[in-house]
Structure 1
């Protein structure tokens, strides 16, 4: 694509970058729906947040190149993420996998520590561990029978 073609579609470089970023966010929303169709809700939620953490780490330069977002743009980005997180959480609550008191806004804020924290937090191993901790925190606790079955399955796996 030549420079003339670019400027026929976008008034400037920032407009192009903003459109790329908007398309990426739209892809994340669509991914949430696709994951729900192919995975149990808790697994879908964990996979989705893992993709978001990787996306954010890889797109930091893009975000830095964007001009300061308008309040409307920030609200749209937040509502897209909150909406997708709400759908994932609701599916998990309906399936009995996620605690009923988990709020999508609070969860997205908590998860944002994976991509907005100090650089030491943004390391893959650290991010994965933090994501595991967060997901474990929103899960419904196992019943004693489920715990016994999980323990027995672990023992069998180790012994075999």
Structure 2
């Protein structure tokens, strides 16, 4: 293999690592009070602003990707959890992840303009609804979850999460999710 190909492969790997570091730093910093500053993200990653701007030309691009990544991670968790747990337990474990997603959603949506918020919300509703439906369908199939439960029902019920501050989400979230899972269980 030529040195230039190896070098190119190395640069691509470095670029991917930088992108991941940028997203992680932005995910953490978006939660802090005040406007998310791109120079603060670059500083937290230990990279130059030019590197950050090559990956994310605008603050909105970065915030949109932070949100999209959280949606993707949440959606991808559903089938993995079903491989490890029966449907009610998988749904409960998935709800634990929903709480973390709700925090990021609240913070990102607070940081972006209304038009961008609508685009982000439209992007997430379909995939999240599909993940909920996957979990519910597994439970309907094995008889552990209600036959009449629909993904939209669950989404409506969990939509309040982005309205809670962290302390209330920490205090009430686990109990409320438990109540929701219990309400979704099939009755004998």
Q: Which has the higher helix share?
A: 2
- Determine if the TM-score, normalized by the shorter chain, exceeds 0.5: yes
1:85 pairs with one of 108, 132, 135: 132
- Between the aligned partners of 1:124 and 1:99, the Cα distance in structure 2 is 27
TM-score when normalising by structure 1: 0.78
Identify the range of structure 1 (31-40 vs 3-12) with the bigger mean alpha-carbon deviation: 3-12
Stretch moving more, 86-95 or 5-14: 5-14
The alignment covers a number of residue pairs equal to: 141
Give TM-score, length-normalised by structure 2.
0.68
Distance change >3 Å, CA 111–CA 35, structure 1 → 2: same
Instruction: Please name the residue that 1:2 is paired with.
Output: 48
What is the aligned partner in structure 1 of residue 92 from structure 2? 46
Match of 1:137 in 2: 183
Distance in 2 between residues matched to 1:4 and 1:64, nearest whole Å = 26
The whole-number CA distance in structure 2 between the counterparts of 1:17 and 1:117 is 19
Matches of 1:12 and 1:138, distance apart in 2: 42
Contact map agreement 2:92 2:177 (CA 8 A) in 1: yes
3-state SS in 1 of match to 2:149: coil
Q: Is the 8 A contact 1:121 1:127 kept in 2?
A: no
In structure 1, runs of 5+ residues without a counterpart are 143-160
Aligned CA distance change for structure 1 residues 24 and 118 (closer, same or farther; 3 Å): closer
Q: 1:154 maps to what in 2?
A: none
Contact 2:109–2:117 (Cα < 8 Å) also in 1: no
Unaligned runs of 5+ in 2: 1-46
CA gap of 1:99–1:80, structure 2 versus 1, over 3 A, is same
Q: Does the 8 A contact of 1:42 with 1:98 survive in 2?
A: yes
Q: Deviations over 1:74-104 (max 9, x none)?
A: 2221001101000000001001111111010
Cα-Cα RMSD? 2.0
Q: What residue is the counterpart of 1:31 in the other structure?
A: 77
CA contact (8 A) 1:57 1:122 kept: no
1:100 corresponds to 2:100: no
CA drift of 1:122 comes to 3.0
Cα drift, residue 23 of structure 1: 1.0
Shift in Å at residue 25 of structure 1?
0.9
Distance 2:173 2:111 in 1: 24
